[in-house]
Structures are given as C-alpha cells and as structure tokens.
C-alpha cells in the first residue's frame, strides 16, 4: 500500500452524525470527502478537519441522481485519490401517519436513503475491488424495527440492513466488508424535527427519551462516529454483514 492516506467518503456530512463521522475519520488519518447536497453546507465540517491538520474535500451532490454521483466520485478520485471507505449516511425524514403520507413523502425518503446508498456504493465499489480492500458502513436506525408515523423511514432503514448483508456476501472475496450502524435516539436536527412534529417541547422530549434509555442519556453524534471508526479499521476485517445497534440499550 502507498504512503498516501486512504480516502473515505461520508455522505450527508454537513451536520450531525455525518459531520461527526467525517471529523473522526479524518482524525483517524483518512483523507475525507465531505459530501452533501450543497457543497457550501459542508464548509464548516471541512474547516474543522483542516484546523486539526486533516485533509478534507467539500463535494456537492444529490446522492439520488446517477449523473451527480458519478461526477462526485470522479472528482473525489481525481482530487483525493481512489475511495476505499464509504459511509452512506445521507438521509431525510418526511414523517406522517400512513393515511396522511403523500407519494412524494414516500418517494423522497426512499430515493435519498435507498437509491442514494445503492448509487454511491455501486460507484465506489470498483475502487475497493481494485484495491482488494474496502469498508462500507450504512447508517440504519432503530426505526427499522418500526416507528409510528415513519412508515417510509422505517422501511428504508430496514432495507439498508438487507442491502448491507447482500453487499457483504457479494464483495467479501475482494477484501471488502459491509456493515450497518443503527443509531437509537441521537441529539440532532432530525430528532429536533421529530419533537416539533409531535408538538413536544425539545428539552422535555430530550429528558423523556434519555430516561427511557438504559444507559440514562441521549446519544450524541460522536457515539455513532466511534462505531463507524471501528468498522472501517483494519482490525475489523472479519466483521461483515452485521447490524450494530448503537442505542444505549437493546431497543432504545
């Protein structure tokens, strides 16, 4: 292997779990492509990485658009090097009860989470196969087990688990692992939006969810980043096709 750092791609990394993961991987020594829908939105993540001596590239792309995905991966390969680590984190919510959910609510969530993860993985895996090394981590959720008002989100998060297990089977012989991290309740813009949807005061909602979690606190984006850091490491080469619930308990 060359002395150049391995290249990691983290989608949806403007804030929250994605930003924390990008920063952690940079601290681990990866050159990181910080990808989100709007390139300008990832500037703060890139700046933080740079301020700590890391190397990062801001990339703007809609992960559900095949042409934009191809262009993004080509840009990353040219400017940073061939990517061999991919974290599929990009996601949106369009929560509603089934009878109120629109086709657009459904399609938007499916396209970003499932189509986006498929397109990004298909574009990057060839570099992993060529290198005979690769790490794919898909970000699922405890919502995969079912959650009121999230039939679309629960479906895609469960779907990512099946996608992960199939990738592990298909790509294992090339030195590529694929795993899922399924967060529980994490303090983020997305969970704040859920509280707003429920008409709940954020501080009260946060305290309630923390009390319901066996470890007695809410999760932080860094909790997920730590798990991803392990799964993309050399030492995790015999861990593949697994779903790791990072939820402060067995079903938080």
Pairing of strands 31-36, 243-246: unpaired
Low-confidence ranges of the chain (pLDDT < 50): 1
Residue carrying structure tokens 């042409």: 67
CA distance 15 to 137: 18
Distances (CA, A) of 64 to 117, 160, 166: 8, 15, 20
Report long-range pairs for 41-46 (Cβ below 8 Å, ≥24 apart). Answer: 41/14, 41/15, 42/13, 42/14, 44/14, 44/19, 45/13, 45/14, 45/15, 45/18, 45/19
In order of their start, the domains of the chain are: 7-186+220-246 (3.40.50.720)
Q: Which residues of 172-198 are buried (b: 16+ CB within 10 A; e: fewer)?
A: eeeebbbbbbbbbbbbbebbeebbeee
Which of the residues are catalytic?
Answer: 153
pLDDT score recorded for residue 1: 43
Tokens of 241: 């096709």
pLDDT score recorded for residue 2: 55
pLDDT score recorded for residue 252: 58
């Amino acid at each position: 292997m060359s002395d150049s750092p391995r290249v990691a791609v983290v989608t949806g990394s403007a804030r929250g779990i994605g930003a924390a993961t990008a920063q952690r991987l940079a601290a681990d020594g990866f050159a990181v492509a910080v990808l989100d829908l709007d390139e300008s939105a990832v500037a703060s993540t890139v700046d933080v990485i740079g301020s700590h001596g890391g190397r990062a590239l801001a990339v703007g792309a809609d992960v559900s658009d095949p042409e934009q995905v191809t262009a993004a991966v080509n840009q990353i390969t040219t400017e940073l090097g061939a990517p061999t680590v991919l974290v599929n984190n990009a996601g949106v919510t369009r929560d509603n009860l089934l009878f109120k959910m629109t086709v657009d609510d459904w399609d938007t969530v499916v396209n970003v989470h499932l189509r986006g993860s498929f397109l990004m993985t298909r574009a990057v895996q060839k570099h992993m196969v060529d290198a005979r090394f690769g790490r794919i981590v898909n970000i699922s959720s405890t919502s995969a087990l079912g959650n009121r008002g999230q039939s679309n989100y629960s479906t895609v998060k469960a779907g990512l688990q099946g996608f992960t297990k199939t990738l592990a089977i298909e790509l294992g012989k090339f030195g590529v692992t694929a795993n899922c991290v399924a967060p529980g309740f994490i303090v983020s813009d997305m969970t704040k939006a859920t509280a707003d949807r429920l008409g709940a005061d954020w501080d009260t909602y946060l305290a309630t969810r923390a009390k319901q979690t066996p470890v007695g606190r809410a999760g932080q984006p860094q909790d997920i980043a730590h798990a991803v850091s392990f799964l993309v490491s050399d030492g995790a080469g015999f861990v593949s096709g697994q779903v790791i619930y990072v939820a402060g308990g067995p079903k938080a």
